[in-house]
Structure 1
Amino acid sequence: MAEQTPLKHSTFSTWLGLVLGTWAGLAWGSLISASIGIGVGVAAGSVLGGFLAVPLWGTVWGLICLRRHRELAVKDHGITLLPEDDPLAQRVYALAARLGLQTRPWVGTMPHNNAYAIGSGANSAMVVVGQPLLDTLSEAEVDAIIGHELGHIVNNDMRRMGLARSFQNSLVWYLGFSDTLQRWGRWFLTWVSELYVLSISRKREYWADAFGAALTSKAHMIAALEKLHNVPDLSEFERKEARLMFRGVAEGSWLSTHPTLEERRAALEAETYLERILELKGRDAWGATPQILPTVDNIAYAKS
């Protein structure tokens, strides 16, 4: 594979896009308010206050909520945390090492036929795999799913989605203080922001699939996807937490949390995202320097 530019995993560009999108939404709301007779001065004053308040509140509250996600998930999702010497935990640690992660994620199982990653960043992440997957999928297919979830961690996808949702809630909350904006602009901006959040969610799944394929193979990643999409419909719990799940709502529309099976398979077969990830075997995950891959025993364990 030819040498590629390392994949950028900073969330700054996502945060900046959210800030600019928030400002555009507030400016649009100001124009709507002024056009229906509130007055340019009043509308502009409302917007200027929101230019600082909404991004600040979205950032702070988003990060606070992210820090609590792991503990709340363990409490509410029926998760069993695994000890470090558990075979599944050891597999997760080994795959994490191949991706260059310097911390071990927490590892857990749940009774649902799905998987997800959660946490505010690599140092506080948790990988959760459903017991039904461990009972029915091959070892390589399970590894592909684990690689997918580790891809979310490497890309800081949990932080991206947490901030996107927090900015959306902050914007809607701020517009609620104005009866006019609430009546004329809030509904529109809520839907625009929701579509943006969902588009981020779908794209992050393509990247995560690519990581799962890079750690195993395209065939194993596709096989895992096909088996998960052929099981019964999403449970009530899975639909509620669809944005987190390996398999989420995929109806092929702008309202989907995930791409369809056909879209994900096509992206993997064409290597649309896979070709942009550096070759992992014998290379640093973010550079092209050959290295000796670390063992699970010499990776620092992240203690909160």
Structure 2
Amino acid sequence: MAEPKLDSRNLHHSTFPTWLGLVFGSWAGLIWASVISAPIGIGFGIAAGSAFGGFLAVPIWGTVFGLMGLGRQRDAAVRQHGITLLQENDPLAQRVYRLVADLGLRTRPWVGVMPHANAYAIGANADNALVVVGQPLLKTMSEAEIDAIIGHELGHVANNDMRRMGLARSFQNSLVWYLGFSNTVQTWGRWFLTWVSELMVLGLSRKREYWADAIGAALTSKADMIAALRKIHEGPAPSDFELSNARLMLRGFSSGSMFSTHPTLSERVSALEAETYLRQLPIRRKAASEPLAAPSVVPKVEDIAYAKK
């Protein structure tokens, strides 16, 4: 009988609960704006949100522009993040494809490298995914540790984390535009008005890292995933780029507080050692009548988007 593998079909998390939380968070923001503006007579909160129209318009605005932002985020990352896209025959791309097959995903993500000692995955969905690995990691990690890093990022693809986090980011940005804030004060505007949503998104960000670590460990081993995490956390201090995109990265803000984007290294290692999330991963077990699984084969794709202009 073949060894059990992860059932990627049951790893997928719906975007709907995240969207619903963002809607309630936007309403809380409007109410909060009304409360803090009323004593000084600005009337901003009342104009923006106390009427029924505001409570309807703001979620619609956030949803529409949130989905628009999702559709653009992969191509925007390639343009803005200093990423070098790899051809399909590149050894790193081939390793990504092999792990994709091991995970049972029916997709073939773009693969890229960047000059930062980190990694991330981005895209509107699994068929629109981009997996990025930092060149410094390729120089300092073993092959098994690199596979664990790739497995972690593919865990975000399989879990639908990219879509949930991308929607949250675009939704929150659209709200501050709706309320009249400029680009330079968006971060402060989000926290000042929609802090309920911001805390919810940070909680989601931390939880998804545990699941992605578990998937990386399932595709390699606990020891490989832990070793990879230790090397990343013990590496150079995050660059300005990594800090400004912390919610995307494998290593982000990890102060151990509710304002962290990521769990601390000790929290992640403890979860892996205790198999807290590993034990909950859905396993596909073959029936006795099924043939033994063949070795992992890179899936054939006729049209590789990044090989074209």
TM-score normalized by structure 2? Answer: 0.82
Confirm whether residue 147 of structure 1 aligns to residue 151 of structure 2. Answer: yes
Structure 1 position 255, deviation (Å): 2.1
- Structure 1 position 161, deviation (Å): 1.2
1:262 counterpart (261, 266, 288): 266
In the alignment, which residue of structure 1 is the partner of 2:184?
none
Aligned to 1:58: 62
1:135 paired residue number: 139
In structure 1, the residue matched to 2:124 is 120
Show structure 2 runs of 5+ residues with no match: 182-188
Residue of structure 2 equivalent to 1:93: 97
Give the equivalent residue in structure 2 for 1:205: 209
SS of the aligned residue for 1:107 comes to: strand
The residue aligned with 2:186 is none
Aligned CA distance change for structure 1 residues 263 and 102 (closer, same or farther; 3 Å): same
How many angstroms apart in 1 are the aligned matches of 2:106 and 2:19? 24
Does the 8 A contact of 1:152 with 1:208 survive in 2?
yes
Tell me, in whole angstroms, the C-alpha distance in 1 between the residues paired with 2:235 and 2:23: 40
In structure 1, how many angstroms separate the alpha carbons of the residues matched to 2:145 and 2:190?
Answer: 44
- What amino acid does structure 1 have at the position aligned with 2:276? T
* 139-148 vs 268-277, which moves further: 268-277
> Cα gap change, 1:258/1:20 in structure 2, threshold over 3 Å: closer, same or farther?
same
The 3 A distance-change label for structure 1 pair 194 and 85 is same
Q: Give the letter aligned to residue 53 of structure 1.
A: A
Contact 1:63-1:163 at 8 Å conserved across structures: yes
- Return the match for 1:219 from 219, 223, 232: 223
Residues 1-304 of structure 1 aligned to structure 2 (within 5 Å): 6-30=10-34, 46-176=50-180, 188-279=192-283, 292=293, 295-298=297-300, 303=305
Instruction: For residue 205 of structure 1, report the CA deviation from its aligned partner.
Output: 0.9
- The amino acid across from 2:172 in the alignment is Q
How much identity, in percent, do the aligned residues show? 69
Aligned-residue Cα RMSD (Å) equals 3.2
1:43 Cα deviation (Å)?
Answer: 6.3
Tell me the alpha carbon deviations over residues 273-301 of structure 1, each in whole angstroms, 9 at most, x when there is no partner: 11111236x669xxxx9884662134676
Give 1:189's aligned amino acid: L
Q: CA deviation at 1:172?
A: 3.6
Q: Once the two structures are superposed, what CA deviation does each residue of 1:207-231 show, in whole Å capped at 9, x if it has no partner?
A: 1111101111111111000011111
What letter matches 1:102 in structure 2? R
From the superposition, tell whether residues 32 and 283 of structure 1 become closer, same or farther in structure 2 (CA, over 3 Å). Answer: farther
CA offset digits 1:178-229 (Å, max 9, x no partner): xxxxxxx986433333222222211111111111011111111110000111
Supply the distance in 2 between the matched residues of 1:44 and 1:83 (Cα, whole angstroms). 49
Separation in 1 of the partners of 2:218 and 2:155? 10
Q: 1:23 Cα deviation (Å)?
A: 2.8
| AA matched with 2:107 | T
Q: CA 1:283–1:13 in structure 2 vs 1: closer, same or farther (change >3 Å)?
A: farther
Contact 1:149 1:208 in 2 (8 A): yes
Per the TM alignment, residue 27 of structure 1 is displaced from its structure 2 partner at its CA by 4.2
The one-letter code sitting in structure 2 at the alignment partner of 1:122 is: A
Q: How many residues align?
A: 290
CA distance in 2, matches of 1:45, 1:267: 42
Gapped regions of structure 1 (runs ≥ 5): 178-184
Give me the whole-angstrom Cα distance separating, in 2, the residues matched to 1:30 and 1:290: 64
Residue 203 to residue 290, structure 1, CA distance change in 2 (3 Å): farther
CA shift in 2, pair 1:230/1:34, >3 Å: closer
CA distance in 1, matches of 2:31, 2:302: 47
How far off its partner does 1:83 sit? 0.8
> Comparing 54-63 with 214-223, which one deviates more in the overlay?
54-63
Which SS does the other structure have where 1:67 is aligned?
helix
C-alpha distance in structure 2 between counterparts of 1:86 and 1:186, whole Å: 41
In the TM superposition, what is the alpha-carbon distance from 1:262 to its structure 2 partner? 0.5
